[in-house]
Structure 1
């Protein structure tokens, strides 16, 4: 597909509209998403020659794909409301105080290590929707809680979710020999280890200010090196389980660290939330194990199902999908036909795990007398009220990304960058992965979308493809920090829906800077033949 400068600039319009409305005009995610969708449709029709039927199919694909995200949001909000209604958050806060009176370490344990653990087994936004309410219950401000969970889950976006995004990458490229595979793993895990270490230090800073960084620097570096080096070593043996195994060890280690005399001193948060009256009357006799009941069940369910191939395959055989015909734009860009597009396996979907955990939690709390009469009505009403606006935003964003992808806009944007930059393209290679995740809110989708493209650029420039493939998925992992749909999951469950632009404004520059640094490292590696 040939491109020109006008088409390339046109592809920027929907993205710029989205960012300006979120960052400058302070629009909510639902309004900005619908505006971005409108502009992507106009560009698709008038510039790229997409017919009305083709655009309608792309929007339909986006709506179908967004269902997977919404099915995570609603049950996650139910878990949150069940815990709030029962008074569990007050008990969790008190229990964390017994673990260590150092509240900064508490935040690191939940927002960095536990969130990383959840990313290792589930992904799909679950770490954000589970972690943010827990942090809020521990006294962290809602906005800060969302920022912390976004940072904490980022590094696990390649080898987490049982290596799903990594499988997506290698399925699109030619890595036929073990030496090339091992080099790709080393490049990728080395950069992800740095992402994780920086995230840990930033989380310590968000929780405790500059003093929090200084006081916890050794602990963060110790855990960061363990996770980074451990993931590298384990990935060479088993990419599917490497992240899960390493974060499981880290989860145990941080609780050992919390028992050290160094962490027996009370340390307050740098900027805590205002104390609120909690529903503790009915939950005053609740213990910490009961308070964590829904989350413990969530972990058990996910581990039992996802790590047991027999159970996973049996439950995963029931799938829902839609068929879509292939179409071609006036410029010659073709889309595939699908007899079963984006099949949804409801029984092994993260939303199913969340919903089952929420139901078990509600039953247990009701039997123990921690939820008062009328609780189920309040839980469902509050959950639904928060889900509707976030669902509108998710549908708008996902449909926008599908319209841009299906009509060739995303491909033209990436190809234009490669064509213009030429030999300095490696500097920008991580940004392609970041773009893919920003548009789709999934490192897996980003790798499928641009993995083959990165390989083609390497062939065109006659350079080693391994660093570019690593840059693709690492950039995608960094992109998960600024992905609007993932941010929406956080703001919805944190009760600050409409502040998506504020969240993006606080992490955008850092994400771009990190991609620039990795791009520079990759560029230098080519110059010296590493």
Structure 2
């Protein structure tokens, strides 16, 4: 598909509309997403030659893909409301105080290490919707809690979720040469280690200000080194498990660190939220293990099913999918037919794990007497009320990305950048990965969308493809920090739906700067022949 300036500028319009409405006009995610979807449809029809039937199918695909996200949001909110109703959050707050009186280390343990652990095994937004409420229960302001979880989950977006995004990249490119594969792994894990270290330092700063950063810098660097170097070494042996193993080790290590005399001194948060009255029954004698019960159940179920190929294969055999016909725009951009588009395996979906954990948690809390009369009704009502506006926004965003993808708008944006950049393209390569994740809220989808494109550019420029492939997936990981759909999950769980623009505004410049730095590093590496 050829690219001209008019097409490129037209393809940029829906993204600009979305950003302006979120950042400048302070619109909520549902309103901004609806406007972005409308503009993407108009441009698909007027500029890119997409027929009404093709656009309708793209919107339908977006709605179907959105279901996978909504199925995570609703049960995760049930767990949140369950913890709120039972008084578990108050117990967790007290338990974290016993772990260490240093509240900044508490935030690092939950917002960086535990969130990274959840990304390592589940992904799909679970770290954000689980981590943000936990941080809020510990005294972190809701907006800050969302920022922290977005940072904490970012580096695990390639080798986390059992390496699904990495597999997606390899499915689109040729890395049959062992040396190329090794170099791609080393470049990817090296840059992801930097992302993780920066995230840890920023989280310490968000939690404790300059004093918190200074006090915890050595701890962050130690844990960051363990995670970065550990992932690099293990990725060469087992990409599926490398992230999960290192974050599991980090989770154990940070609890050991919390026992040191250095962390026995109290340290307050830089800008704590106002104390909230404890929810739950009066005289609640819940223990810390009971308070964490739904989250422990979630981990046990996910690990048991996802790491056991027999169980995963058995429960994964039941799938639901929709069939879609292939279509072609008037400009010649074609989409294939799908006899089974984006199959959903409900029994091994993260939403199923969350729902089962919520059900078991509720049964236990009710039996132990931690749920007051009418508690179940309040839990379900509050969860549903928070899910509906979030679902509308998610559907709008994903449908917008599908319309742009299916009618060639997203590819035109990437091709236009590559055509103008020429020999300096490596500097811009991470931004292509970032674009893919920003549009789809998935590093997996970004790698599938642009992995082959990055390989073609490497062949065209006659350069080693490994750094460009690493730039693709690392840029996608950075893009997860500013992905609107993921931010929506966080603002929904934190009870600040409608403030998505504020979150993006806080991290957008940093994400772009980080991609620029990585691009320059890769460009210099090419010049030096590394």
Per the shorter chain, which TM-score range?
over 0.9
Matched residue, 2:247: 247
Instruction: Report deviation, 1:450.
Output: 0.1
For residues 72-111 of structure 1, what are the structure 2 equivalents within 5 Å?
Answer: 72-111=72-111
Tell me if the contact between 1:432 and 1:472 (Cα under 8 Å) persists in the aligned partners. Answer: yes
| Equivalent-residue separation in structure 2 for 1:201 and 1:333 (angstroms) | 44
1:20-72: per-residue Cα shift (whole Å, max 9, x none)?
Answer: 00000000000000000000000000000000000000000000000000000
| Equivalent-residue separation in structure 2 for 1:201 and 1:115 (angstroms) | 15
User: Taking structure 2 as the reference length, what is the TM-score of the superposition?
Assistant: 1.00
Matched residue, 2:414: 414
Instruction: Report deviation, 1:178.
Output: 1.6
Gaps of 5+ in 1: none
Matched residue, 1:23: 23
How many residues align? The count is 530
Tell me if the contact between 2:293 and 2:361 (Cα under 8 Å) persists in the aligned partners. Answer: yes
Matched residue, 1:169: 169
Determine if the alignment matches structure 1 residue 332 to structure 2 residue 332.
yes
Tell me if the contact between 1:283 and 1:370 (Cα under 8 Å) persists in the aligned partners. Answer: no
1:211-264: per-residue Cα shift (whole Å, max 9, x none)?
Answer: 000000000000000000000000001000000000000000000000000000
Gaps of 5+ in 2: none
Tell me if the contact between 1:435 and 1:479 (Cα under 8 Å) persists in the aligned partners. Answer: yes
Instruction: Report deviation, 1:283.
Output: 6.0
Matched residue, 1:206: 206
Matched residue, 1:379: 379
Instruction: Report deviation, 1:281.
Output: 3.2
Instruction: Report deviation, 1:14.
Output: 0.2
Instruction: Report deviation, 1:282.
Output: 4.1
SS in 2 for 1:172: coil
1:255-300: per-residue Cα shift (whole Å, max 9, x none)?
Answer: 0000000000011100000001111434620000000000000000
SS in 2 for 1:82: helix
| Equivalent-residue separation in structure 1 for 2:280 and 2:317 (angstroms) | 43
Matched residue, 2:348: 348
| Equivalent-residue separation in structure 2 for 1:374 and 1:405 (angstroms) | 46
Matched residue, 1:482: 482
Tell me if the contact between 1:8 and 1:413 (Cα under 8 Å) persists in the aligned partners. Answer: yes
SS in 2 for 1:496: coil
1:471-500: per-residue Cα shift (whole Å, max 9, x none)?
Answer: 000000000000000000000000000000
For residues 44-59 of structure 1, what are the structure 2 equivalents within 5 Å?
Answer: 44-59=44-59
Instruction: Report deviation, 1:179.
Output: 1.5
1:400-457: per-residue Cα shift (whole Å, max 9, x none)?
Answer: 0000000000000000000011001000000000000000000000000000000000
User: Taking structure 1 as the reference length, what is the TM-score of the superposition?
Assistant: 1.00
1:498-530: per-residue Cα shift (whole Å, max 9, x none)?
Answer: 000000000000000000000000000111111
| Equivalent-residue separation in structure 1 for 2:456 and 2:526 (angstroms) | 17
Tell me if the contact between 1:282 and 1:372 (Cα under 8 Å) persists in the aligned partners. Answer: no
Greater alpha carbon shift after TM alignment, 175-184 vs 100-109? 175-184
Matched residue, 1:237: 237
| Equivalent-residue separation in structure 2 for 1:180 and 1:17 (angstroms) | 40
Matched residue, 1:472: 472
| Equivalent-residue separation in structure 2 for 1:292 and 1:239 (angstroms) | 29
SS in 1 for 2:285: coil
Matched residue, 1:11: 11
SS in 2 for 1:277: coil
Tell me if the contact between 2:281 and 2:371 (Cα under 8 Å) persists in the aligned partners. Answer: no
What value does the CA root-mean-square deviation take over the aligned residues? 0.5
For residues 106-505 of structure 1, what are the structure 2 equivalents within 5 Å?
Answer: 106-282=106-282, 284-505=284-505
| Equivalent-residue separation in structure 2 for 1:45 and 1:357 (angstroms) | 45
| Equivalent-residue separation in structure 2 for 1:393 and 1:155 (angstroms) | 25
Tell me if the contact between 2:88 and 2:286 (Cα under 8 Å) persists in the aligned partners. Answer: yes
| Equivalent-residue separation in structure 2 for 1:281 and 1:395 (angstroms) | 37
Instruction: Report deviation, 1:180.
Output: 1.2
Tell me if the contact between 2:280 and 2:371 (Cα under 8 Å) persists in the aligned partners. Answer: no
| Equivalent-residue separation in structure 2 for 1:284 and 1:268 (angstroms) | 26
